[in-house]
Structure 1
């Protein structure tokens, strides 16, 4: 995605090539169970115990994120990601172009929607990518995360940058 096509167009072209069927997605999930960054389960649990809702906002696919949410104890409704559409026979039928995450700037739209819908006064985005950082504002804060991959743009521009979830867990304890 060298900037010549929109995120949605690139997503559409990639999915046309891959042609993900319902069976291919199921096979992928069975062969590649979720792997978690150290500390993420504890962080999500700690936030949840404090009554702080946690959302998974991703340019990836909801069907891939469902097992992640389940293992983190998050309701599936808290996944905001792209949705692959299938025909009744399980063949690929396209993707839901109404999902804000299917377009450039979509995470910003998601944050605005969450704040308006739920009245959140303090919404913090944690992420490793530029699109996560671009969602602040309207997010009230952004924490850059480099525990899996360090993206220099995020590291240089995030108000707070961590490489270990334990740092966030420790901060909550203070």
Structure 2
């Protein structure tokens, strides 16, 4: 396992950074917000807690929760337009800084692609860098299930996405950032994991993560410190 020093060095020199979305890039758990909007909030929130704590496989939790919610296309569109997700403080600046350093930024979510694409557009992340679950609807707009062929619909799906990215692009320094057990389990194949507790604290992640942060400003400071050192080197050497 990498030391804190090694992990910080890896982050400063990363060629790809993958973010979880719910309770990391955004303040909410998207599926919980959809459940509340559809009138089954309490039951679904309990399932989410069990899934994020690692006591229930992701695919089983997703299937159970969606069977309760059964969202229509209209409900989903209304949720996004009337109650758009709130970006976590500092994430916009962090993504912009990573882009300036030519770091590839990906969003890997067990949530729903329509919501995650909305978030990606606000962060100037190309939609080709979005991996999330697709809901299916009948012609009349009623819920028809979800696409079970998506990697993100599987247990361990985030790790499978990261393995695919590394094979496709040859990333050698890829960092995963997230709040939940499914994010931590994606390392390996991710080369490093940073736990995030700024919106929700998952005790298992807090206890086991070598680097655990509660504010994205900490990562921004790492990058700014790195830029300062590079400027010094350019001046004196």
- For the aligned pair, the TM-score class normalised by the smaller chain equals over 0.9
Which of the numbers 159, 163, 166 marks the counterpart of 2:210? Answer: 159
Shift of 1:4: 8.4
Which of the numbers 138, 152, 169 marks the counterpart of 1:101? Answer: 152
Offset from partner CA, 1:22-42 (integer Å, 9 cap, x none): 111001111211201110000
CA RMSD of aligned residues (A): 1.6
Please, what TM-score do these two structures have when normalized by structure 1?
A: 0.93
Offset from partner CA, 1:52-86 (integer Å, 9 cap, x none): 11111111111111111100011112111111012
**Distance verdict in 2 for CA 1:88–1:33, change over 3 Å:** same
**Distance verdict in 2 for CA 1:158–1:79, change over 3 Å:** same
Which of the numbers 17, 42, 49 marks the counterpart of 2:68? Answer: 17
Please, what TM-score do these two structures have when normalized by structure 2?
A: 0.69
Partner Cα distance (2:55, 2:224) in 1: 46
Partner Cα distance (2:55, 2:192) in 1: 30
Matches for 1:134-153 after TM superposition, within 5 Å: 134-153=185-204
Q: Which runs of 4+ in 1 moved over 3 A?
A: 1-6
Offset from partner CA, 1:129-173 (integer Å, 9 cap, x none): 111011001100001111111222111211211111000001011
Partner Cα distance (2:166, 2:201) in 1: 28
The answer as to 2:83 corresponding to 1:49 is no
Shift of 1:120: 0.7
**Distance verdict in 2 for CA 1:153–1:29, change over 3 Å:** same
The answer as to 2:40 corresponding to 1:40 is no
Aligned to 1:30: 81
Aligned to 2:9: none
Larger radius of gyration between Structure 1 and Structure 2: 2
How many residues matched? 174
Shift of 1:14: 2.3
More helix by share: 2
Tell which has more relative contact order, 1 or 2 (C-alpha 8 A, sep 6+). 2
Structure 1: unaligned runs, 5 residues or longer: none
